């Protein structure tokens, strides 16, 4: 069966420059390409394409549908401390869950929410 080898999230943002700066300066993404109306970003295996949509309703107005990613990480506490130190808005604080993940969630300037999680199960 064919496999999915990578994932890129495409997000509509109301202020492309503000969002690009947030993802790069606060979340540690790197911009690979910028073309008219778009910014292509990456951090590790996560890829984003931010599309400039100044007239779109921001995701902050769609709370129930604003979750767009669950990103698996190797050091949730380290990343939590990094992002909190950069002033990123924390939606859910770092905690260990009953499903054996250490996770936290953030909110972007447009109201998109991202969960970061680290497996608490030991690899064999």
Whole-structure pTM value: 0.83
Q: What is the arithmetic mean of pLDDT over 37-50?
A: 96
55-64 residue pLDDT tens: 988 777 776 6
Burial 58-94 (b: 16+ CB within 10 A, else e): bbeeeeeebeeeebebeebeebbeebeeeebeeeeeb
Q: What is the arithmetic mean of pLDDT over 36-56?
A: 95
Is the per-residue pLDDT at 87 higher than 50? Answer: yes
Q: What is the arithmetic mean of pLDDT over 59-73?
A: 79
How far, in Å, are 5, 18, 23, 79, 87 from residue 26 at the CA level? 27, 11, 6, 11, 7
Is the per-residue pLDDT at 81 higher than 70? Answer: yes
108-124 residue pLDDT tens: 998 889 999 999 997 54
- Residue 2 confidence (pLDDT): 63
- All structural domains of the chain, each given as residue ranges with its CATH number in brackets, are 8-119 (3.10.180.10)
- Residue 55 confidence (pLDDT): 92
In sequence order, which ranges of the chain are alpha helices (DSSP H)? 16-21, 76-85
Calpha distance 41→114 (Å, rounded): 15
């Amino acid at each position: 069966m064919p496999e999915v080898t990578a994932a890129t999230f495409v997000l509509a943002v109301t202020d492309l420059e503000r969002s690009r700066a947030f993802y790069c300066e606060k979340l540690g993404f790197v911009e690979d390409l910028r073309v008219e109306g778009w910014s292509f970003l990456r951090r590790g295996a996560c890829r984003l394409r931010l599309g400039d949509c100044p007239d779109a309703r921001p995701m902050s107005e769609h709370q129930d549908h604003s979750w767009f990613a669950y990103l698996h990480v190797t050091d949730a506490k380290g990343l939590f401390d990094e992002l909190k130190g950069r002033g990123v808005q924390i939606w859910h604080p770092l905690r260990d869950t009953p499903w054996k993940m250490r996770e936290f969630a953030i909110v972007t300037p447009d109201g998109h929410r991202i969960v970061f999680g680290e497996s608490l199960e030991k690899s064999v």
